[in-house]
Structures are given as C-alpha cells and as structure tokens.
Amino acid sequence: MPHSFAESPDGLLYFGSGMDPVMRWDGRSNFAETAGVEGPSTQPALTGSGNGAIVGTYRAYVRFLDQYDNPSNVSPVSDEYDADGATGTITDASNAVPIVVTSAAHGLTTGATVKITGVEGNTAANGTWTITVTDTDRFSLDSSAGNASYRGAGEWVRGVSTISYSSLPTSSDPKVAKRQILRNTDGQSTVYYVDIETTNLAATALTSTKTDDDLLNSDSVALFDDDGVTDLAISRYTIPPADRKYLVNMLGRMFGAGVVRYSQGAVIVTFGSATVTGIGTEFTASMEGRYIAVDGAPKVYLIDSVDVSTQAITLSETYLGATDPYATYAIEPVSTRRRALDYSEAFLSEAWPPTNSLDLEADSQSNEVTGLLRHDSFLYVLHRKKIRRLTYQSNPSPVGGDGGIYNAASRGSVNQRCALLVTDIAGMLDDEGVHLFAGPDDIPVSDAIRALFDVNDNENPSIQWRYSENFHAVYDSGNQVMRWFVCLDGGRYPRHALALDYLERRWWIEEYYRPIASSCVGQIDGRPQVFLGTNAAQVLAFGAGELDGPNPQAGTTRGTPTSVGLTWLADSTASFATDLVNAPVHIVDGTGRGQWRTIVAVSGTRLTLNAPWLTLPTTSSTYQIGGIAWTWKSGTFRFAPSEASVPRRVNTVSKPTEHAALMSLRILLDRATTGKKWGKSVGTTAGEGVKTSVGQEYADIDLTKDDGFHQIRFDSAAPRQAERPRFIEIELAGVKGRDPIIIYELSLDGGDQ
C-alpha cells in the first residue's frame, strides 16, 4: 500500500499506510521505527519494610519512555498500599506546645515518623510528624501546637523505610529506553511523582527509599488537568492509530484520516471454523480488531488475531458461511472509521488519545476520506467528489474546542498523493478530470484530455480507476509542469503521466518504460529536483541526465548491431557499461524501427532483452540505449482554397544536434489514421535535410543539419475544382538521444487555417 508522509513540528518524518503501525524517521538513522510507545498492560504491586519516614496510603503506575523521552500511557494502577510499620491507639493529645500524645506501650523511638488520623477536638494533632519519645506511653510531635482540647479517638501509624515494587511490567519493544515508576504522595491521588527512573528494562522488582518530601522534589506527572477531567497521562499517550491511511501536520498537531479496504489474493474459509487462511495475501498484525467480509457470507466477522507467519486469521466466532477454498474477501476497520478524522495532542506528535477524533458528516458525495491537504490556516479534507475545510485556533473539536468544518468544493481528489499544492492553488485529479482548487474558485482544466476520463470510449486509452490508490502527482517547479502519474495500460502501477504546463495550460501525455510507483521533490546541488521511485529498488532523478538511465560517458549507448537474436542484440564494437540493466533500447533507424525493449542482462558486448522482437532488426539497423521516445501531433488544418497557385510543403526549424539524431514526419490527410505514403525516394541532400522512401509513411529529418532548416514538398498544385484532400495534420516523432530536441518552428505552406 502507498504510504503517506508528514513532517512533525520537531522535524521527524512520520509515515503510514493504513495497514501497519505509523512509522517515524529522524533523518539520521539507517532505519525507521514505529511511532509511539505502547504502554504497560499489567499493574505493579507495592509493599514496605523497615522503620522510616515513608508513611501514608500509596498507589503506583509504570510507564515506558523512548530515546526522545516520549512516554507511554501509564499501566493499570496498583492496588492501594498503606505504609504502616506499626500502629497504635491514641487516648489523649494535649492542647499544648508541642502536643503530647498518649498511647499505651507505643514502642516507638525518637526520630520516628508517624501519621496520626482521627483525633477529635485537638485536630491539630492529625498529620504526619517526626516524634520525640517522652516515656513508654507518651511521645511529643515535633514543631506542633494544639488548637483545642482532646475529645477522643485517633490512631497513629509508623512509617516504613523502603517501598518495594514487584510484578513490574517489562517491554520487548527495542525503542523503549527506560522505565519510570510513578507514586503519589500521601493524601492525594491526582499528581504522581517519578519515584524510580531506570534503564534496567528487565527487572521485575525494584525498591525505593524516597519519602513524600523527596517525591515533591522529583518530576511530577499530573493524571488530569486542573479541570479534573482532561486526561494528561492515562490515555493521552495512546500510540498513533494504525488504520489511518493519510497523515498531515497542521498547527502543531498531526492529523490522520482514511482507511484501507484490503482484498489482495483470496482466503480459505470453512463452515464451523474460526480460522481463515490467506492465499497470496499479506495480512499484518494491525488487522487485529478489524472486520472481514467474505463474499457470500451471511455477516461480517471481527478479527480476533492474526498469525503473520502462516497468514492465518482467527475470528472472534466461528464462520457460518459456506466452505470455500478460494473466496474473495475484504478487510477494513469498523465502518465509522471511514469518516473519522483523528488528531494528536498539540506538539505531541505521538500522543493520540481516543477522544481526539471528529466524526465527519456522511452524505452520498463524501462517505470516505481520500486525503488531507494543509494550506495556510486550513486543513482540507478530501473526498472523491467533495472537499471540506477544517479551521481552528487551538482545539480542532467543534464541540469542546474552537474547530469548524465547512464544505469547500463539489469536486475532490482520488487520493492524497494526487493533490498538488503550488503557491495558493491545488491541482487535483478526480473522476471527472483535473481541476485547480483555489479556495472559493474551482477551475476545470482537462477538457483537452477528456477522452481519457471517458470509461465508455473504446477507441482511446482510458484511465484504469481500479488502481487509483497507486496514482500520484508531482510538481516540476523548474519547468512549471504538474504531472499526474496514472495507469493507462492495465498495469497496477503507473507507466504514464498526464503533464500540464501550469502557466500555458497545455497538456501532453508521457509514457515511461518502467513503472513509476512514487514521486517527490528534493534537491541536487541546492536546486529543486523531481525524483521518481521505480522497480528494482531504484530512484530516478527526472531530467537530470542526457539519457534515460545510462551515462553516455561510461560506455556505448548508440550503434549498429553486428548480430541480433529474437531476445538479444550484440555489437562487437561496443563497450557496454554494466549498469544498463533496466534501461530501454530503441531501434531508431533501419529494419525494426520504432520498437523498444528493456535490457535485463549485460554480458560483454551482448544485451539480453525482456521480450522478443516483433520485427527482427538487422545489422544495418541503428539502436539507441536510454533513448526517450516522443510524439507530437498538430491540430487539423484546412488547405487554402487557391490550390492552383499555392504549393504544399512543410518546413521545420530546429536546433542542430551535436550527436546523430533523426526526427520522423508524417502527414495525415482528411483525418486519416494512417499517413500519406511517399511516391519516391529522396536523399537528405536533395531533400533539404529530409529523406523519404517509396511506400513509407514517415519522412526522416536529419537533426544534425547545420542550419536546422528542413523542408519537404508533398504535393504539386492542382487545377481548381479537382478532387483533392481538404484537411491536413502533421505528426512529428523521434527518440531523443544525448542532445535535447528543440523545434523552434513548424510551418505549413498551402494551409488556410
């Protein structure tokens, strides 16, 4: 599944696919790691021992931290523990300075710490005190003063010197760097303090001698905000949800939306069994808790667990559908997650409490989220046929915060990667075409290529929408070109791009010899550079070299074969570089011209190809490695009515190339799909830089001609009233070699409009 990428305010890169846990990368490490820290699931236990100043009622939590000090949620709280080394009953508390407490045979020693509770009348005696023993039945409370006569009741508890923690939870997560044990101070349970922080991740028992005064000097961890409701530690640090397909950062918060409907391969299901086995699947552990719908089953089933190694799913109940050894299916989260917009805490990119979620209103145009786009102070929520706008200052929630969600446009985007933001305009691809979205304005711009979006047009290639999740787009700022990479040939990954000159509003279609699965903009030598991700784990720098792949300085890239086989080509005079694998090789002249194949192996002077030649080239053919095929076609022109006196010819003016290069010219008359065939053969010298061959449609233009001027006459004048072709179209084509092909001018003599 394609990933979505977002940079956090602190410079970390986060990415998710909706299939696996969200990942993070710091830009320095050789690997990425899962985002967020999973909290402990079991509670610790507390006991005490010895005589000391730790006295009161205590509870404890455990939490994990990573190398960046990102904390997890706290564990379940421990059972309550009363630190009582010894206890006694109070029979008197003097209204004096200091207060003298009477307790028969108390057994205490001077300097001990006791906690007194329940004294009536002289309530100043209640609290935690250091004592001085006066005799076996009495002790005074240091620095105390009575406030009334004793009216009865009360007891004392002596403190312990050591708190012992046991049953401490551990973590197998390699990114967990340390553990913290949090303990409250006596008399309150809303703020906890770091009692122990340790890098010992394996120990299940630890001890502490910190008193309440010591804890007050440690780092505090409040469980709730001052309002007593807002959670600050219990579930605040829930890890980013793994079912979010799209991520974006805005105003210090990370947002996630969109779900994956996974249906790769097939499954084996058996009536009465809770086990579902995948065939050609890539089930992940994150699918636990999602639902599987099997074609023909009476209901959907909750996934209880996933065995990734065996690709076996265990359902929460037995399967009641018919046994099927090869069933189609789909796995996705609960339906309400389709419209959920989740978000992190402010400036805590890995803290996603479950309460931080908005439920977008459903309608027929916006059931599922297809992407998120941030611009200025707005977060645009993309749907296939709609765009919504979220705005907020501090809290995105429309209920408890200052957020608001509004409709922004009646068109949308097929996915997040097909939404390009250029200055203040977003170019988007949806089912209707390409449109430029600029706040209140939404401008359609793809009328020139409308046929590609017509699913009922059987004469022209059309976009394969079933693979739309793999479509993507990139903006080439150097050439001011927007490109949307789409599937036109039936393959799963794009091999074509719809290219738009952003300023001139001109379209063309690009074909790539390798699948282009991803694109982005980076830098080379400080300048913006478009990068393309392709197969064989390679990244291509778009437009950065002379050829498509190979370096012409490293070896032979153009020549004449000395022998040719059905799936190979050899040139005994060549010195082929070893990095030609996956590069294209074109036949640019001679027999087999117009064909191209992909190089799959290089052995000496022999190239092995990925597919057989349809027309076998000969030793008089010319090959070009790494060439870029191109085609340009004019609009339709009408011949001038004064046909008797106006000759018909085509002129081109181009920049002369330094290295050998040909351009083909084809003339199509009266909207024909095949070109005019030449009636005679003319060499390039006699033909003013243009060569024709009898019976061929294409005229060859030599682009190395010094003045760059080429002219071809294709008909003579005719008497009026003669039946002659009335319309003409011009097609130019070629394979770019080492030099750029630049056509300055094309003129048609004999055309009227």
Pair (589, 465) in one structural domain: no
Average pLDDT, the chain: 92
Pair (431, 467) in one structural domain: yes
Residue 483 clears pLDDT 80, i.e. is over it = yes
The span from the CA of 449 to the CA of 610, in Å, is 32
At 472, the amino acid letter reads H
Q: Is residue 230 part of a domain?
A: no
Omega prior to 98 cis, within 30 of 0: yes
Residue 474 clears pLDDT 60, i.e. is over it = yes
Pair (616, 685) in one structural domain: no
Range of the domain at 109: 86-158
Pair (279, 303) in one structural domain: yes
Structural domains in the chain (count) = 6
Pair (655, 743) in one structural domain: yes
The CA-based angle 519-522-525, given to 5 degrees, is: 140
H or E element: which one contains 214? helix 212-216
**Stretch 708-717: mean pLDDT:** 78
Secondary structure letter of residue 125 according to DSSP: G
**Stretch 71-85: mean pLDDT:** 94
Q: Specify the pTM.
A: 0.84
Q: What would the pLDDT profile of 497-556 be if each residue is shown by its tens digit?
A: 999 998 899 999 999 989 999 999 999 999 999 999 999 889 999 988 889 989 999 999
φ and ψ at 21, to 5 degrees? -60, 150
CB of 681 within 8 A of CB of 692? yes
* CATH number, domain with residue 95: 2.40.30.180
Q: Is residue 432 part of a domain?
A: yes
Pair (76, 115) in one structural domain: no
Pair (528, 575) in one structural domain: no
DSSP 597-630: EEEEEEETTEEEESS--SS---TT-EEEET-EEE
Pair (494, 520) in one structural domain: yes
The structure tokens listed for 23 are 């990942």
Any residues with CB less than 8 A from the CB of 85 and at least 6 apart, and which? 48, 50, 51, 52, 55, 157, 158, 159, 160
The structure tokens listed for 25 are 């990368």
Q: Is residue 428 part of a domain?
A: yes
**Which residue among 332, 350, 365 closes a domain?**
332
**Which residue among 222, 240, 256 closes a domain?**
222
Q: Is residue 135 part of a domain?
A: yes
Q: What would the pLDDT profile of 258-281 be if each residue is shown by its tens digit?
A: 999 999 999 999 999 999 999 999
Residue 665 clears pLDDT 60, i.e. is over it = yes
Pair (532, 612) in one structural domain: no
Task: State in Å, rounded, how far the first CA of the chain is from the last one.
Answer: 50
Q: What would the pLDDT profile of 115-173 be if each residue is shown by its tens digit?
A: 999 999 999 999 999 999 999 999 999 999 999 999 999 999 999 999 999 999 999 99
Q: Is residue 502 part of a domain?
A: yes
Q: Is residue 370 part of a domain?
A: no
Pair (433, 527) in one structural domain: yes
Q: What pLDDT score was predicted for residue 578?
A: 87
At 556, the amino acid letter reads T
Pair (457, 530) in one structural domain: yes
Q: How far is CA 131 from CA 51, 53, 112, 157, in A?
A: 13, 11, 6, 12
φ and ψ at 336, to 5 degrees? -65, -20
Q: Is residue 316 part of a domain?
A: yes
The CA-based angle 553-555-560, given to 5 degrees, is: 120
Maximum mean pLDDT: which of 13-17, 666-670, 678-682: 13-17
**Which residue among 608, 626, 644 closes a domain?**
626
Q: What pLDDT score was predicted for residue 645?
A: 56
Strands (E), 40-168: 45-54, 56-58, 60-66, 81-83, 86-89, 92-93, 100-102, 113-117, 127-135, 138-141, 155-158, 160-166
The span from the CA of 707 to the CA of 598, in Å, is 35
Q: Is residue 510 part of a domain?
A: yes
Kindly list the strands in the beta sheet with 622-625, ordered across the sheet, starting from the edge strand earlier in the chain. Answer: 558-559, 622-625, 584-589, 596-603, 606-609, 568-570, 563-565
Pair (637, 744) in one structural domain: yes
**Stretch 216-226: mean pLDDT:** 92
Q: What would the pLDDT profile of 305-326 be if each residue is shown by its tens digit?
A: 999 999 999 999 999 999 999 9
Q: What pLDDT score was predicted for residue 715?
A: 65
Q: What pLDDT score was predicted for residue 323?
A: 97
